[in-house]
C-alpha cells in the first residue's frame, strides 16, 4: 500500500507541475506513456515488474474519486484544480482498460 501511495503522489506531482506551467501544449498531461517513460527508479520494486500496470485499478479509483469529490491535488500549490477527467491519463486508462457494457433485452 505504501508503494501505491508513493506512486500516486508522484503522479499528482507530475500533474501539478504541468498545471502550474499552464502551457496549452501540455495542460492535459501527463499521459500513460509519459508516466511510463519518466517513472523514477526509486519507485521501482523487485516484487512488481511494472508498478504502473500492476496498480492500475488503484490509480483509476483515485482519479475517479478525485474527480467526483472535487478534491484538489495533495501536492502542488493550494487551490489547484487538477481536472483529472480532462487529463490524457484518464483517457489513456479508459482506452487501455475499457469497461464493457452488456445490453440485456427482455
Q: Would you say 92 and 32 are in contact if contact means Cβ atoms under 8 Å apart?
A: yes
Q: What's the pLDDT band for 24 if we cut at 50, 70, 90?
A: low
Percent of the chain with pLDDT over 90: 22
Rounded to whole angstroms, the Cα distance separating 35 from 48 reads 16
With cut-offs at 50, 70 and 90, classify the pLDDT of residue 11.
very high
Give buried/exposed letters for 35-62 (b at 16+ CB in 10 A, else e): beeebeeeeeeeeeeebeeebeeebbeb
H runs (alpha helix) in 1-106 = 2-21, 32-37, 51-54, 56-69, 88-96
* End-to-end CA, the chain: 43
The answer to whether the predicted template modeling score (pTM) of the entire model surpasses 0.85 is no
Q: What is the pLDDT of residues 40-88, one digit of tens each?
A: 999 988 888 889 989 989 998 998 898 888 888 888 888 888 888 888 9
Amino acid at each position: 500500500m505504501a508503494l501505491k501511495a508513493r506512486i500516486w503522489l508522484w503522479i499528482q506531482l507530475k500533474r501539478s507541475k504541468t498545471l502550474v506551467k499552464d502551457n496549452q501544449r501540455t495542460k492535459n498531461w501527463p499521459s500513460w506513456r509519459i508516466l511510463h517513460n519518466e517513472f523514477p527508479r526509486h519507485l521501482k520494486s523487485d516484487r512488481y515488474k511494472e508498478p504502473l500496470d500492476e496498480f492500475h485499478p488503484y490509480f483509476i479509483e483515485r482519479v475517479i474519486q478525485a474527480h467526483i469529490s472535487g478534491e484538489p491535488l495533495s501536492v502542488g500549490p493550494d487551490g489547484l484544480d487538477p481536472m483529472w477527467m480532462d487529463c490524457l491519463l484518464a483517457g489513456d486508462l479508459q482506452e487501455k482498460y475499457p469497461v464493457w457494457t452488456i445490453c440485456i433485452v427482455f
